[in-house]
A and B are shown apart, each in its own frame.
Chain A
Amino acid sequence: MRRSSIFASAILAVAMLSACGGNEPDTAQYGPTPALPDPQRGLLPNMTIAKPAQWGDQQPAVPQNYTITAIATDLGIPRQTLVLPNGDILVAEGRGGGAANLKPKDVIAGYIKARGNTSVESGNRLTLLRDSDGDGIYEEQTVFAENLNAPYGLALVDGNLYVANQDALVRFDYQPGQTRASGPPVKLTDLPSAINHHWTKALAASPDGRFLYVGIGSNSNITERGMDVEADRAMVWQVDARTGAHRPYATGLRNPTALAIQPGTDQLWAVVNERDELGPDLVPDYLTAVREGQFYGWPYSYWGQNVDPRVRPQNPEKVASAIAPDYSLGSHVAALGLAFSTSAMGAEFADGVFVGEHGSWNRKNPVGYKVVFVPFSDGRPAGPPIDFVSGFRGADGKTRGRPVGVTVDPRGALIVADDLSNTIWRVTPTQ
């Protein structure tokens, strides 16, 4: 009884702190060399949680000459999508995790954060969307596979459909035109799943289909669950598609939430969510080419060799070996989706990547809550991000959707999964 009232007063204090006070300059923190202020953390972390609301008649905003439509609704927490060769769209639905509360703080923060998320049940399935007549309306919606365990990453190589569950990488046989899996999947390999603080397993396949890359998030914000549980975490695995054997491909990537291969190359790219509770402008989430064998800092340092004092024991040798990522997306934007564009998306958005930003919690002035386009030139990010789909968070402070996975349909469409309104959005250039 008394404890619950302590929690209540703590929640009240957090609410008061987020409601008032704090001068946060909104620094544009984009590009290869973001300004990194000194770490700061008051007695309470800044928390501003999305207030969910219905879309009603409203829709996300897209650039002129683009149209957005909802092609599927009432899903079971859609996260990532995959466009199949025949134009069908597979949607991975579900919520994983379930890490235990270790401190009173976890109980309180968990309660507060849950208010900004959907309350529907985890789908744990793949839904297939089909537009038979090509009119942009996906009239057919069937369950392709069910009883999966928080599926997230999807990849298709030849006749093999790979699905990264939160605990295992599995494979379905896929025939073009199939609307339902012909049987249960075959397990290729287990994935690290103890605790699963960051449970999402991102997935990409090498162009020749020999290797699969799996993004595995850390088991904590910054080692507060202990070092022991961080074995095989915060890294990208390279998995042999035939044998299931794996090796670390790159490490120190706190939470690599989406992976993609740059078209025309073998280069793997990732968006990575960085650590919280170091202030509103630390640490920038980033987009980077994933360099084989390299160490990107987590947990010992951030953005190269900036030491994080919260980690004990420290490791100066690892810090010395840490490299900086390529492109800052801004702190706390929570990038969860990544897709390379094509010329079919229109001239302005032809060369670059789309990034789905789920939106911040650890910041007074929310950031993210949109899909941005990072323009490329000569195969490298060039220039600040451009809003491509926005308006998920309205001027009224209400949040109607939160973007996760983004996928480019080569026919000229961007597919956006929205795990707050449980909707799949499709953005197309207006003909």
Chain B
Amino acid sequence: MTATVDRPYTRALHPVHAILLAGTIPLFLGATLSDLAYWSSHQIQWTNFASWLLAGGLVFGGLALLCAIIGLFRADRGGRPLIYILLLLATWILGFVNALIHAKDAWASMPTGLVLSVVVTALACAATWIGFCSLRAGGVK
């Protein structure tokens, strides 16, 4: 008997969606920091870390994107899901390109890889912010 009256958070992100979405930030941020470490130390292990963190970010981001797209087809959505989805899509596409850049051997991934990691991290932050904001705002109203 809980689903009948106003609840401020009915339209909040599903916890699974929220976890996947929020998870992109530490993963892409970790990749950026690893890239910075490789940039300054030339120690190859850092770029290996960056590659796997990027792959992780793509898994989380891809699943979050899937959740968001499924959410589009649910009638009770308010807010700005389209902006959120486009941001997340941009994050994923640039993240994938970045993963391919990181697949180059040794220093061949630099400096493009580092620059892309920073951009993708910023996009992931923006997508997560808008994702939480817009959807929750819709619920609170």
Contacts and interface: CB of A to CB of B under 8 A. Distances in A.
B52 A310 contact: no
Contact of B107 (A44, A225, A312): A312
Interface in A303-322: 309-313
A6 B66 CA distance: 14
Interface residues of A, number: 25
B17 interface: no
B107 A277 contact: no
Given A3-B59, A6-B59, A105 B51 contact: yes
A103 B107 contact: no
A43 B101 CA distance: 6
Interface string A210-236: 000000000011111111000000000
A226 B63 CA distance: 33
Given A2-B59, A226-B43, A310 B107 contact: yes
Contacts of A227: 44
Given A3-B55, A6-B62, A310 B108 contact: yes
B31 interface: no
A309 B59 CA distance: 31
A243 B114 CA distance: 50
B99 A312 contact: no
Contacts of B62: 2, 6
A22 interface: no
B99 A104 contact: yes
Contact of A6 (B43, B58, B104): B58
Given A102-B48, A104-B55, A2 B63 contact: yes
Given A2-B63, A312-B42, A104 B51 contact: yes
A222 B105 CA distance: 7
A113 interface: no
Contacts of B63: 2
B52 A224 contact: no
B106 interface: yes
A51 interface: no
A277 B48 contact: no
Nearest to A4: B59
A225 B45 CA distance: 8
B36 to A, nearest CB: 14
Nearest to A276: B105
Q: Which of A223, A224, A309, A313 has the most chain B CB atoms closer than 10 A to its own CB?
A: A224
B97 A43 contact: yes
Contacts of B16: none
Interface string A242-281: 0000000000000000000000000000000000010000
Interface in B104-119: 104-108
Contacts of A313: 42
Q: Which of A41, A104, A311 has the most chain B CB atoms closer than 10 A to its own CB?
A: A104
Nearest to A227: B44
A223 B99 CA distance: 19
B102 A103 contact: yes
Nearest to A101: B48
A256 B70 CA distance: 55
A41 B104 contact: yes
B103 interface: yes
B105 A221 contact: yes
Contacts of A44: 100
Nearest to A107: B55
A82 B95 CA distance: 52
A310 B108 CA distance: 5
Contact of A277 (B55, B59, B108): B108
A357 B63 CA distance: 45
Given A223-B44, A226-B45, A277 B104 contact: yes
Nearest to B43: A226
Nearest to A2: B59
A225 B51 contact: no
Contacts of A220: 105-106
Nearest to B52: A104
Contact of A309 (B44, B51, B107): B107
A103 B103 contact: yes
Interface of A: 2-3, 6, 10, 41, 43-44, 102-105, 220-227, 277, 309-313
Interface of B: 42-45, 48, 51-52, 55, 58-59, 62-63, 96-97, 99-108
Given A6-B96, A220-B106, A222-B105, 20 more contacts: A41-B104, A41-B108, A43-B101, A44-B100, A102-B48, A103-B51, A103-B52, A103-B103, A104-B51, A104-B52, A105-B102, A221-B105, A223-B105, A224-B106, A226-B44, A227-B44, A277-B108, A309-B107, A310-B104, A313-B42
Q: List the 10 shortest-distance A-B pairs measured between CB atoms, nearest first.
A: A105-B103, A226-B44, A224-B105, A312-B42, A103-B51, A310-B108, A310-B106, A224-B106, A312-B107, A43-B100
29 contacts: A2-B59, A6-B58, A10-B100, A41-B104, A102-B48, A103-B48, A103-B52, A103-B102, A103-B103, A104-B55, A104-B103, A105-B51, A105-B102, A105-B103, A222-B106, A222-B108, A223-B44, A223-B105, A223-B106, A224-B44, A225-B44, A226-B44, A227-B44, A277-B108, A310-B105, A311-B106, A311-B107, A312-B42, A312-B106
